[in-house]
Amino acid sequence: MNAVPGKPTGTPPNEITPPELAYLATIDVEVEAPIMIGNTVDGLRKIVPIRGGRVTGPELNGTVLDAGADFQQYPIDTVAYLAADYVLKTDDGHHVLVENRALRTGSTSDLNKLMNGEHVDPERIYFRCVPRLSADRSGPYAWMSEVLFIGSGVRSPNGVRIDISQVL
């Protein structure tokens, strides 16, 4: 069997249980226009202010506070490294810090369209993330600091939608 570049092949040894996923929630983040830093030694840099939104799911519901930003780095024209830090306020009054690290890749044309606020078919963009969720150690969401999460995202002209799953 020929390996496809970027696609793992084979199966792990039987003595290790492969991870499974359990859906946690969807976060819809509202953003403002980017603040352009420019072409730096690290590539194109910009900051996208996070201004609100909503989180909904079986394990987590609330609002995205106007408290955060997405720090973006484009080392080449087909790759974006994203580092978004923001705060959720749950419907029961607790705060959850989201520190999300993501990779978004696509063609030069598609990423340029996204950067210009145009719609691009989500199937044409690879957008995966690893959100770290933290909450007060004495509260009901403390367990989130003790597990891993992964997600898939979609960028729209006005925001970002991320589906987050817990790695079991």
How would you classify the pairing of strands 159-167 and 95-105?
A: unpaired
Domains of the chain with bracketed CATH = 21-167 (2.40.160.20)
Closest C-alpha among 41, 57, 39 to residue 133: 57
Q: What CA–CA distances, in Å, run from 65 to 41, 89, 109?
A: 32, 7, 32
Contact criterion met (CB below 8 Å) for 75 and 97: no
CA atoms within 13 A of residue 97's CA, in its CB half-sphere: 8
Contact criterion met (CB below 8 Å) for 27 and 164: yes
Closest C-alpha among 125, 60, 72, 140 to residue 98: 60
User: Which tens digit of pLDDT belongs to each residue from 7-59?
Assistant: 666 666 678 888 999 999 999 999 999 999 999 999 999 999 999 999 999 98
User: Which tens digit of pLDDT belongs to each residue from 91-112?
Assistant: 999 999 999 999 999 999 999 8
pLDDT at 2 over 50: no
Contact criterion met (CB below 8 Å) for 112 and 104: no
What is the mean pLDDT of the segment spanning 1-10? 57
Closest C-alpha among 137, 130, 118 to residue 165: 130
Structure tokens of 79? Answer: 């790759």
The secondary element (H helix, E strand) that includes residue 165 is strand 159-167
Buried (b) or exposed (e) across 116-129, using 16+ Cβ within 10 A? Answer: eeeebeeeebebeb
User: Which tens digit of pLDDT belongs to each residue from 59-86?
Assistant: 899 999 999 999 999 999 999 999 999 9
Structure tokens of 128? Answer: 């995966």
User: Which tens digit of pLDDT belongs to each residue from 106-130?
Assistant: 999 999 898 888 889 999 999 999 9
pLDDT at 1 over 50: no
